[in-house]
Chain A
Amino acid sequence: MDFWELTTDRIKINDVARRVVPPECGATVTLDGYARRFTTRDTKVIETEYLVYEAYEEMALKEMQKLVERAKSAFAIANVGIVHRTGRIEIGETSVVISVAAPHRKDAFAACEWLIKELKRTVPIWKKEVYADGEAWSEGEAAE
């Protein structure tokens, strides 16, 4: 089955990965995106204490559904699952999981890479980085 969801709970990565598996497939590629403590910006290393994600939920779900549909028409894959967490996320905790099941791994890898790239460009979710001495909204890549 395909699915796209938002949650404020901790994401169980293995559950996401297993839910996409059908009998005709031989490989699932799963991206586990999690909160990074250190980010280098203009040679300066910035230390993040935690992240806060905000979503325009109704539109985010619509855009996630579009991504799943586009991926399935562009790649030889069977099922896609996407779960994005919102709210406060501690360092090392998972913010997004994308699992792609395919008959062959090559297609699953390519589709998973395409999906995360497009998600970061089109799905209305915003990340705020909170530091010891302030906070900043992460600057996204150009949208449409």
Chain B
Amino acid sequence: MVTKVLFFGAAADAVGERSVEIAELAGSTAEEAIVRLRNAYPLLANQKINISINQEYAPPNAIVDDGDEIAIFTAVSGG
């Protein structure tokens, strides 16, 4: 199974993509998913990033399930 990962803002610029598909991410914790993505996209390592699962902020121990929508982004700056 592949998991769809979305990137926004500075994280999208660092990755050079707005959306990618990552194999075998399901079963990982949110923290492990961040480590994997940082290894795959080294420019993300310089950024403090947040992860959401299915459009909710995910705590480090949250588990990624098959079919989940993951998003990676830096601190929000709306307003």
| A120 x B56 contact (CB < 8 A) | no
Q: Which A residues are within 8 Å of any B CB, using their own CB?
A: 33, 53-56, 58-60, 62, 84, 95-96, 116, 119-128, 137-144
B residues contacting A by CB (< 8 A) are 6, 8-10, 13, 50, 52, 55-57, 71, 73-79
17 A-B contact pairs sorted by A residue (CB < 8 Å): A56-B71, A56-B73, A58-B55, A59-B55, A62-B55, A119-B78, A120-B78, A123-B78, A124-B71, A126-B74, A126-B76, A126-B78, A127-B79, A128-B9, A137-B74, A138-B77, A143-B76
Of A95, A122, A143, most B-chain CB atoms within 10 Å:
A143
Q: A54-B9, A59-B55 are in contact. Are A142 and B75 (CB under 8 A)?
A: yes
When chains A and B are docked, how far (Å) is the Cα of A83 from the Cα of B10?
A: 23
Number of cross-chain contacts by CB at 8 Å:
79
User: Are B56 and A122 touching (Cβ within 8 A)?
Assistant: no
Specify which of A84, A123, A144 lies most central, judged by the most chain B CB atoms within 10 Å of its CB: A144
Given that A62-B55, A126-B73, A137-B13 are contacting pairs, would A84 and B6 also be in contact in the complex, using a CB cutoff of 8 Å?
no
